[in-house]
Structure 1
Amino acid sequence: MPELPDLEVFRENLNERLAGKKLTTVQVPYDKKLNVSGDQLRAVLSGQELKSLSRSGKELHLNFEKGDVLALHLMLRGQLHFFEESHVIKSPVIELFFEGGTGLVMSDFQKMATPTLNPPAAEAPDALDKSVNVDFLIKEFKGKKAAIKAILLDQNKIRGIGNAYADEILWKAGISPYSIAGKIPEEKLKDLHRAINEVLKDAIVQIRKAHPGSITGEFRDFLKVHTQKYPKSPTGGEIIIQKSGARKTYYTEEQELFN
């Protein structure tokens, strides 16, 4: 699943290509995930100018001139594709046709990718929002018995971080992913706050540099710990891979366990 850094780069590239264009029509070949009917979606959005694209957690928001928003969530396997005039892309979920022939398709062979018209405001903050500060982390983790990684992955707590970046952030902060959130001392939460910002912002820079123009995919080739390229972390710790269900956690014994 694309995570915050991937989606931030996608947002930039989509914005550059589509902002200022008028949406001529929209088609929904697979409408099971849409919160309104295809006819309602067309009635609301057709003819509106796309003012900008923004990102909210793991969603991309297309912001139209009358204040309407179309949210696109790629889920696990969704992909975005540009096209001109027409396309032969398999498993389309939603198709956006803009003036001048430019189009955008969200596809997903698993049929899980989700378009939403005018989504409700999210209650949890985005991981890069200024409100996610040390005080926020102290308040959010106080008394919590859950593992710190589970909380970082909970989109109802903090939005945008997924499995790969949770591992990278926790390694950077020197905190074991299996630490009990409520047991982590305040000084280490300062390290965690710093790591969230540094890891995510650096990843955006790395993806932008290595994959300019990208609007789909997951780019992980530069990660330091959540990787099978190296047996050890940059500081020499052996990378341990622990599997739980379909999810793998990558960490080292350099990370302190709080329990």
Structure 2
Amino acid sequence: MPELPEVEVTRMGITPHVVGQTVTKIIIRNSRLRWPIPEAIKNIEGQVIHKVVRRAKYLLLETDIGYAVVHLGMSGSLRILPAGSVVEKHDHVDVVLACGEILRYNDPRRFGAWLWQPIGEDHPVLEKMGPEPLSDDFNGDYLVAKAKAKRKAIKLLIMDNHVVVGVGNIYANESLFAAGIDPQCPAGKVSSQKLHLLVNEIKTVLHKAIVQGGTTLKDFKNADGKPGYFAQELQVYGKGGQPCPRCGELLTEIKLGQRATVFCGKCQY
């Protein structure tokens, strides 16, 4: 599933091609995604795309009258292609641009979304979200306050979009390893010092993943079709039973919140 770095890489990849361009047509081949694509999405026809904004794992194509809100789901991708490119299976949406290119959405599992948000309104899917992890609003003092007296496992806390958005499973595993924190530890029991360190590690891990172009596991390819390379730098995710890269002890893999969780019982406490 594309996580925050993959979505950010996609945003950076499509932005030079779509910003400043007029949308001449929206082609919807299959409206049955996670939620039905609303007819209002065609309001974007004739509008200029001024900006592509990322909020959590959503991309917002901004125009004067509103936003097309896009989520890549579990297997979705956005590609820039020449107009008239052959339509492949699972190519569900095309945004046709006046420059002769198209922004094409492909989604084999159809768990993504295309939604409409008028100017001046907040779409329900974007309400009540926590701060962006790379913003100044997400800092050590903030996480200490959110963790106070919480019995919830620290890994589950940092994956809660009401606390901070976009820290998905891969990056939660990696950040907790880097900070030396047991992912099962109740959030309220983690020291203030370690919580400050965890914030720094989350920012570092996400930034590295963005620079590397995301993490390609099964489905993700970025906007130019090239894979991400951060998977080559993963320390623990997907490596249960292998030696810890720090101490050599075998890494433990468990299910936590129904998600694969890998950690070192010696280095993380």
Same fold flag (TM > 0.5) = yes
Alignment partner, residue 181 of structure 2:
175
Contact kept, 8 Å, 2:240 with 2:252, in 1: the verdict is: no
Alignment partner, residue 205 of structure 1:
211
Q: Which amino acid aligns with 2:88?
A: I
Match of 1:160 among 166, 172, 180: 166
Distance of aligned partners of 1:63 and 1:34 in 2 relative to their CA distance in 1, 3 Å threshold: farther
Equivalences for residues 17-166 of structure 1 within 5 A: 17-32=17-32, 33-34=34-35, 37-38=38-39, 40-42=40-42, 44-64=43-63, 66-86=64-84, 87-118=86-117, 119-120=123-124, 121-123=126-128, 124-166=130-172
Contact kept, 8 Å, 1:81 with 1:104, in 2: the verdict is: yes
Separation in structure 1 between the aligned mates of residue 18 and residue 150 of structure 2, nearest angstrom: 43
Contact kept, 8 Å, 1:107 with 1:113, in 2: the verdict is: no
Q: Secondary structure at the match of 1:164?
A: helix
Contact kept, 8 Å, 1:81 with 1:216, in 2: the verdict is: no
Confirm or deny that 1:231 pairs with 2:235. no
Per-residue Cα deviation, 1:180-218 (whole angstroms, up to 9, x for no partner): 11111111111111111111112212227x998646866
Scaled by the length of structure 2, the TM-score of the pair is 0.84
Alignment partner, residue 13 of structure 1:
13
Distance of aligned partners of 1:46 and 1:136 in 2 relative to their CA distance in 1, 3 Å threshold: same
Contact kept, 8 Å, 2:79 with 2:223, in 1: the verdict is: no
Q: Secondary structure at the match of 2:268?
A: coil
Q: Structure 2 unaligned runs (5+)?
A: 118-122
Contact kept, 8 Å, 1:73 with 1:114, in 2: the verdict is: yes
Separation in structure 2 between the aligned mates of residue 91 and residue 212 of structure 1, nearest angstrom: 17
How high is the sequence identity, in percent, across the aligned residues?
27
Contact kept, 8 Å, 1:143 with 1:182, in 2: the verdict is: yes
Q: Which amino acid aligns with 1:37?
A: P
Distance of aligned partners of 1:7 and 1:28 in 2 relative to their CA distance in 1, 3 Å threshold: same
Contact kept, 8 Å, 1:9 with 1:215, in 2: the verdict is: no
Separation in structure 2 between the aligned mates of residue 79 and residue 176 of structure 1, nearest angstrom: 34
Alignment partner, residue 120 of structure 2:
none
Scaled by the length of structure 1, the TM-score of the pair is 0.87
Residue 222 of structure 1, CA deviation: 2.0
Q: Secondary structure at the match of 1:198?
A: helix
Match of 1:184 among 174, 182, 190: 190
Distance of aligned partners of 1:212 and 1:159 in 2 relative to their CA distance in 1, 3 Å threshold: closer
Residue 157 of structure 1, CA deviation: 2.1
Alignment partner, residue 193 of structure 1:
199
Separation in structure 2 between the aligned mates of residue 254 and residue 203 of structure 1, nearest angstrom: 26
Match of 1:253 among 254, 258, 265: 265
Contact kept, 8 Å, 2:3 with 2:168, in 1: the verdict is: yes
Residue 67 of structure 1, CA deviation: 4.8
Residue 63 of structure 1, CA deviation: 1.4
Moved more, 87-96 or 44-53: 87-96
Contact kept, 8 Å, 2:10 with 2:78, in 1: the verdict is: no
Residue 173 of structure 1, CA deviation: 0.8
Match of 1:240 among 252, 263, 266: 252
Per-residue Cα deviation, 1:136-181 (whole angstroms, up to 9, x for no partner): 1011111211111112222232111111000001001110111111
Separation in structure 2 between the aligned mates of residue 27 and residue 151 of structure 1, nearest angstrom: 40
Separation in structure 2 between the aligned mates of residue 30 and residue 212 of structure 1, nearest angstrom: 22
Contact kept, 8 Å, 1:21 with 1:99, in 2: the verdict is: yes
Q: Which amino acid aligns with 1:223?
A: L
Residue 125 of structure 1, CA deviation: 1.3
